[in-house]
Structure 1
Amino acid sequence: MLMEKIKVNYKGIIFRLLFSLSIGFLSKIYLILNNYRGKVYHLKTVLDDMIPFNKYFVIPYLYWYIYIAAVLIYFAVVDGKKYFKLLLSILVGMGISCIIYYFFPTTVSRPLLKGEDVFTKLVFFIYKKDNPYNCFPSIHVINSCLAAIYVNREGILKNYKMISTLIAVSIILSTLFIKQHYVYDVLAGIIVSYIIYFAFNHSVVLDRVKQRYPLEINR
Structure 2
Amino acid sequence: MNSIKAFLYKYRHAWILSYAFIYIPWFCYLEKTVTRNYHVMHVALDDFIPFNEYFIIPYMMWFLYVAGTILYFLLTSKDDFYRICTFLFSGMTISLIICTFFRNGTDFRPALDSGKNIFTSMVAALYRTDTPTNVFPSIHVYNSIGTHIAIMKSEALRKHRLVRAGSGILMVSICLSTVFLKQHSVIDMIGAAIMAYVIYGIVYGYNWSTEEKKVREKALS
2:185 & 2:87 partners in 1: Cα distance?
23
**Contact between 1:138 and 1:181, CA under 8 Å: does it hold in 2?**
yes
Give aligned-pair identity as a percent. 31
Aligned positions of 1:163-202 closer than 5 A = 163-202=166-205
Is contact 1:97-1:139 (8 Å) kept? yes
1:62 aligns with 2:76: no
Distance in 2 (alpha carbons) for counterparts of 1:73 and 1:43:
33
SS in 1 for 2:204: helix
The partner residue of 1:162 within 162, 165, 173 is 165
Q: Deviations over 1:152-191 (max 9, x none)?
A: 1223222211101111111111101111000000011111
Task: Render the CA deviation track for 1:57-81: whole Å, top value 9, x for unaligned.
Answer: 1111111110001110121122101
Correspondence for 1:112: 111
Quote how far apart the aligned CAs of 1:14 are. 4.5
The alpha carbon displacement at 1:38 in A equals: 4.5
Q: Structure 2-normalised TM-score?
A: 0.84
Root-mean-square deviation (CA, aligned residues, Å) is: 2.0
Residue 74 of structure 2 is aligned with which of 70, 73, 76?
76
Question: Could you tell which deviates more after superposition, 62-71 or 9-18?
Answer: 9-18
Change (3 A) 1:93 1:99: same
Deviation at residue 15 of structure 1 after TM alignment: 3.2
Gaps of 5+ in 2: 1-5, 214-221
Per-residue Cα deviation, 1:127-172 (whole angstroms, up to 9, x for no partner)? 1111110011001111110000111122322221110111111111
Change (3 A) 1:84 1:185: same
Counterpart-to-counterpart distance in 2, 1:160 and 1:149: 12
Q: TM-score, normalised by structure 1?
A: 0.84
Alpha-carbon distance change, 154 to 18 in structure 1, aligned in 2, over 3 angstroms: same
CA distance in 2, matches of 1:150, 1:129: 29
Aligned pairs for 1:1-20 within 5 A: 10-11=7-8, 14-17=11-14, 19-20=16-17
Matched residues in 1 for 2:49 and 2:200: separation? Answer: 29
Deviation at 1:19, TM superposition (A): 3.2
